[in-house]
């Protein structure tokens, strides 16, 4: 039995592709056979995040429209035996892919994979609506803990419910425990309550995520807090009961509290 996961967000740049790549590899390490599908036509980047940018020959559009066999387009992630990428086309646009063709491609992949992760285009427009046609089993909404992203996530949750897709689950990315403790940033649990959406996972802001990108490494090749969060979420996606870390809500140890620097005042500029 395969599970198809939509990975979507209202606002762009919140970490969908980073999560698709990180969760794809983490699920592979859980023994799952995984396909990451880059459905962000014209803006592909899952290939880069999985270290495969120089290996793309055929892509999703070739499979959907030109009769290319999926096996020809799928790229194996080196060192991660069970993880594959179906890359997006760099030149196609959302309107070029018929949702029915996309559904047909995903149905075909279900026969060979346990977990299929669809890295969706941002927003609630045509690109996402096309991706939604793939009969997903789960819809993951990615948001960062700020009002702009959360308002867009609310719109997206509304659309998912309206389309009668499986109820959305929330992933909150780029959490800063120290800002949650000072009350400046909303916690993942509070964000989930505000959106009335079950929380599947929370990922801290981690400078190593960006440094891995700068050094052309996969995020799962570095040992960091974000990678450990991906591993926990992957276990949860496989049905494991892994407690949520609840960043910023756990009481700090005495030593940390004593030596914690006071938060810098935000200086407001006079005009």
Ligand X SMILES: Nc1ncnc2c1ncn2[C@@H]1O[C@H](COP(=O)(O)OP(=O)(O)O)[C@@H](O)[C@H]1O
Among Mg ion, ligand X, none, the one that 79 touches (CB under a kind-dependent 5 to 8 A) is: none
Establish if 169 lies at the interface with ligand X (CB under 6 A): no
Tokens at 76, concatenated? 């194996």
Tokens at 187, concatenated? 């916690």
> Which residues are registered as beta bridge partners of 119?
7, 38
Nearer to ligand X, 61 or 122 (CB): 122
Binding mask 8-47 for Mg ion (x = CB under 5 A): --------xx------------------------------
Among ligand X, Mg ion, none, the one that 18 touches (CB under a kind-dependent 5 to 8 A) is: ligand X
Establish if 206 lies at the interface with ligand X (CB under 6 A): yes
**Residue 34 CB, nearest distance to ligand X (Å)?**
17
Total of chain residues touching Mg ion, rule CB under 5 A:
2
Total of chain residues touching ligand X, rule CB under 6 A:
18
CA distance 86 to 109: 10
Phi, psi of 138 (to 5 degrees): -140, 145
Tokens at 138, concatenated? 């789960």
Longest dimension (CA), the chain: 64
| Coil, helix or strand at residue 172 | strand
Tokens at 269, concatenated? 């500029």
Among Mg ion, ligand X, none, the one that 60 touches (CB under a kind-dependent 5 to 8 A) is: none
> In the structure, how many helices (H) and strands (E) does the chain have?
12, 8
| Coil, helix or strand at residue 76 | strand
**Residue 207 CB, nearest distance to ligand X (Å)?**
6
**Residue 39 CB, nearest distance to ligand X (Å)?**
11
Phi, psi of 217 (to 5 degrees): -105, 155
Nearer to Mg ion, 70 or 127 (CB): 127
Nearer to ligand X, 73 or 172 (CB): 172
Q: What is the CA radius of gyration of the chain?
A: 19
Establish if 14 lies at the interface with ligand X (CB under 6 A): yes
* DSSP 8-state assignment for residue 80: -
**Residue 208 CB, nearest distance to ligand X (Å)?**
8
Site for ligand X in 211-250 (CB under 6 A): 213, 226
Binding site for ligand X (CB under 6 A): 9, 12-18, 122, 173-174, 203, 205-206, 209-210, 213, 226
């Amino acid at each position: 039995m395969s599970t198809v996961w939509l990975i979507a967000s209202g606002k762009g740049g919140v970490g969908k592709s980073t999560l698709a790549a990180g969760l794809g590899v983490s699920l592979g390490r859980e023994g799952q056979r995984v396909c990451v599908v880059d459905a962000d036509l014209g803006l592909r980047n899952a290939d880069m995040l999985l270290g495969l940018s120089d290996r793309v020959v055929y892509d999703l559009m070739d499979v959907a429209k030109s009769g290319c066999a999926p096996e020809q387009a799928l790229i194996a992630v080196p060192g991660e035996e069970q993880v594959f990428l179906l890359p997006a086309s760099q030149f196609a646009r959302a309107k070029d892919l018929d949702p029915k063709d996309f559904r047909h491609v995903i149905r075909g992949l279900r026969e060979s994979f346990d977990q299929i992760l669809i890295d969706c285009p941002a927003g609630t427009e045509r690109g996402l609506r096309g991706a939604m046609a793939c009969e997903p089993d789960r819809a993951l909404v990615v948001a960062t803990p700020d009002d702009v992203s959360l308002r867009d996530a609310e719109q997206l949750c509304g659309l998912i419910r309206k389309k009668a897709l499986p109820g959305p689950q929330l992933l909150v990315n780029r959490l800063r425990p120290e800002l949650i403790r000072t009350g400046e940033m909303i916690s993942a649990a509070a964000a989930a309550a505000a959106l009335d959406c079950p929380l599947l996972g929370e990922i801290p802001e981690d400078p190593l995520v960006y440094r891995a990108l700068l050094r052309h490494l996969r995020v799962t090749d570095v040992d960091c807090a974000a990678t450990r969060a991906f591993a926990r979420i992957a276990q949860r996606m496989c049905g494991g009961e892994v407690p949520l870390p609840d960043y910023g809500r756990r009481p700090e140890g005495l030593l940390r509290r004593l030596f914690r620097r006071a938060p810098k005042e935000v200086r407001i500029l006079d005009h």
